[in-house]
Each structure stands twice: as structure tokens, then as C-alpha cells.
Structure 1
Amino acid sequence: MLTNTSLTLLLTASVVLGGPTIARHRGCATHIEPEDIVIAERHFDANKTETDKIANTAVKVYWHVISKDSTLAGGNIPDSQIASQIQTLNNDYAGNITWTLANTNRTVNADWFNNAGPSTSQQTAMKASRQGGKGDLNVYSVGFVNGSGAGLLGYSTFPSSYSGAPQDDGIVILFSSVPGGSTNGYNLGRTLTHESGHWLGLYHTFQGGCAGSGTATAGDYVADTPAESSAASGCPSGRDTCTGTSFPGADPVTNFMDYSSDACMTQFSAGQMARATTQFSTYRT
């Protein structure tokens, strides 16, 4: 079911992680069945706590630096890069959500760094260090070298999954995707912005393709994101994959919930923020 599913974001790039070069691409590692989304959305509709916004509500962030050694190439990102990432979150969610770094934990564990990924024993062991409650974000930065994590950029749980598996709640990202990282094209911190959108209940802008997008009752369940048949990459100009009078507007390639490059991502829609804040008040307060 969707409540036990994590979305996974990958990238097109090559990153040297103090070892072999790993090819990366964007995409989802976990397929979300349409019927599971319908079930989750019915639950949300039946239980939602209406709110205009949660402005001035600070989400505490607990950062878990997982490295294979004490070097930057080994994943030991400095406090300055973490601070820059938190600032990027605050810039990208300005006027809606405030993110505050509560604590940074550092663990040298080559097994977790290399092998943590969706549904792995390394992830389970790593997430045993989770802190805070359902409204607190735990971020784990790793290397995504082997196994189910190989080539990933990041993945997140959804708000509705917390009650069934609170120990799994949080986001796992590639350490070199933070601002100033070594992943070319994806080192402005927009990976965590994107994954935080999932943590707040947002789907991809291309969820459901042309048939499902552009309404509040299908696709990404946000009415003001134009329909999009597939994920964008890079920063395409004038891309419009859903044409005709039924699908006004070009593809939202600058939206944080698409798959564009970091430099291309600049915005959430008002509808996305309304959904995110309502998801937060329903499942995370």
C-alpha cells in the first residue's frame, strides 16, 4: 500500500564517491499502484484537518551524517553545507514552512554509507537513530553505492505512512547533492527540497500523465499544476507534453516536484502548498 511506499528520486550524472564512478538517472524505484493512491486519498479526504497554512510553524530537522570515513569524499559533509541546505529549504518554502536544524549526528559506518537503500537491513539499522516525533524531519545523507540504493539521489516517506511505521519516517539523500556538493547539475540542494515535498504529501507533477494531471481529484491531486505526460530532465524550454484545450499550460518544468535539474527548479504552486500544509496538519501534528 502507498502508506508503506517511499518515492525515490534518481539523477542523470556521474559521481565519484572515493571509488568507482556511478551512473545516475532520475526516476522512481518504487511503483505506486493507482488503486493504492486512490485508497490513500480517500483516507485523506475523510480525515483531513483543514488549514490555510502553517506559516511560522518550525519543522525541526535532525540530520544524520552517514560516512564511510572522515573525509568529505567519504560522505563527511561539514556543518557549513548542512546549514546551507537548511537555508535552501527555507528559501524554497518561504511563507509556508520554516525549517530549523535541531541536531546533527555523525556516524562512520561504511556498510550503511554504501548499502543503505529502500527495504535494506542497512536502512533499518540506520534509521534506528531516528529522533523526534511525527512532525520532525529526519534526514540521512549516504553514498548510495550498492544494492537497491545504487545510483539514487534520494527517497522519502509520506505523511500517511507515519502511524504504521514511525521508525521508517524520514528522507535519505545522496550526500553530494547538498549545496556545494560534487554532483554536477544536482548540487544546489533541490534534492532535499523535492524529497521534503513528498514528506509533506506531494506527488510528482507528472503523476498520472495527461489523463490524471491538472485536477484536484487525480494525478498529483493539485489543480494548478499543468498536466504533464512524463518527467522532464535538464531544463527544457517550451516543453508541452499534454496538448489541446483540455490541457492548458506548458509543462511545469520549473516546479520542485518535477525531475528537472537543480538550477531549473524554482517554485511550488499555491495549490501544492495548500495540499502540503493540510497534509501536515492532518498527519504530522
Structure 2
Amino acid sequence: MPKLVLKSRNTRKCGVHISEQKIAAAERKFSTSRLPAGDPNATATIDVHFHIVSANDTLEGGWVPISQIEAQMDVLNDDYKDTGLRWNLVNTTRILSKEWFEGVAPDSPENDALKQVFRAGNESALNIYTVG
């Protein structure tokens, strides 16, 4: 199987831009919600749902191959192996929509609609969305 290599003139970065105020508010919330340490040998499995929003079935159009998703899961599990956390890929949803691929942005109505329609799992599940 050929190795997937993405070439770009620019380095890709996360498309989410969070204000310093929102980061500070989230940190305060996390600090006040933190539970006391429990059993140091305890483990937890977090279900992961990937939602791939693409304009078409090309890499440029946002199509993320399953091999890349599985590789990301391997990275998560490797990075967290000493913490007692394990990440379990439950499903991958593919959403072919040029409008959502190009139009979803943080704090936009499209972002809220996307998450209301496609969010999966219970409150402890991690939902990951990819958009343009």
C-alpha cells in the first residue's frame, strides 16, 4: 500500500481560533470541576467518533482516508498509554457537503447545526469533526 504524503506550501494548522477569554473561562471551569485523584491503577476507555466533512472524495476536498484516522488513534493511544486512558474508535461518519466543508467555522450557526445533527455517543464520548 503506498504511503500517503500530503504536500502543501503552507503548514496546516488547526482551524479553531479560541480567544484568550474563552481559554481562561474553560480553564476556570476545568479547575472547579476537577475530581480528586482516585485509584492510580484505574483505567478508562473513551469512545471516539470521527465526522469527516468533505466537499468531494479527494484529499484536497477534505476526504480523510481511514488509514489516517487509524494512525491518529494509534498516536492517541501511544501518547496516553501511561495515563490509564485508552481511545476506542467507534465509528467514522462521512458527510459530503461542499457548503458545510467550506462554511463551518467556530461559533457559526453551521457549526452548531453540524454538531446537533451528527454528535454521537454519551457525554463522555469524544466527537472529532474535520472541515475545510
TM-score category by the smaller chain? 0.7 to 0.9
C-alpha separation in 2, matches of 1:122 and 1:27: 14
Aligned length: 122
Q: Per-residue CA shift, 1:132-185, capped at 9, x if unaligned?
A: 111110010111xxxxxxxxxxxxxxxxxxxxxxxxxxxxxxxxxxxxxxxxxx
Secondary structure at 1:106 match in 2? strand
Matching residue of 2:62? 75
Alignment match of 1:40 (pick from 19, 29, 39): 29
Q: Which runs of 5+ in 1 are unaligned?
A: 1-12, 16-22, 144-285
In structure 2, the CA distance between the partners of 1:14 and 1:62, relative to structure 1 (3 Å rule), is same
TM-score, reference length from structure 1: 0.38
- Check the 8 A contact 1:68/1:74 in 2, yes or no: yes
Q: Which runs of 5+ in 2 are unaligned?
A: 1-8
TM-score, reference length from structure 2: 0.76
Higher relative contact order (CA 8 A, sep 6+): 2
- Check the 8 A contact 1:66/1:112 in 2, yes or no: yes
> Counterpart amino acid of 2:108?
T
In structure 2, the CA distance between the partners of 1:132 and 1:54, relative to structure 1 (3 Å rule), is farther
Task: Give the % identical residues.
Answer: 29
- TM-superposed CA distance for 1:95, in Å, is 2.1
- Check the 8 A contact 2:54/2:96 in 1, yes or no: yes
After superposing the two structures, state which structure 1 stretch, 58-67 or 31-40, moved more.
31-40
Matching residue of 1:238? none
Matching residue of 1:119? 107
Alignment match of 2:73 (pick from 66, 86, 92): 86
- Check the 8 A contact 1:62/1:139 in 2, yes or no: yes
Instruction: Verify: 1:104 aligned to 2:95, yes or no.
Output: no
C-alpha separation in 2, matches of 1:62 and 1:87: 15
| Bigger fraction of residues in strand | 2
- Check the 8 A contact 2:16/2:106 in 1, yes or no: no
- TM-superposed CA distance for 1:50, in Å, is 2.9
C-alpha separation in 2, matches of 1:82 and 1:103: 10
In structure 2, the CA distance between the partners of 1:83 and 1:54, relative to structure 1 (3 Å rule), is farther
Secondary structure at 2:60 match in 1? coil
- Check the 8 A contact 1:14/1:24 in 2, yes or no: no
C-alpha separation in 2, matches of 1:83 and 1:38: 30
Instruction: Verify: 1:136 aligned to 2:132, yes or no.
Output: no
**RMSD, aligned CA:** 3.0
- TM-superposed CA distance for 1:115, in Å, is 2.0
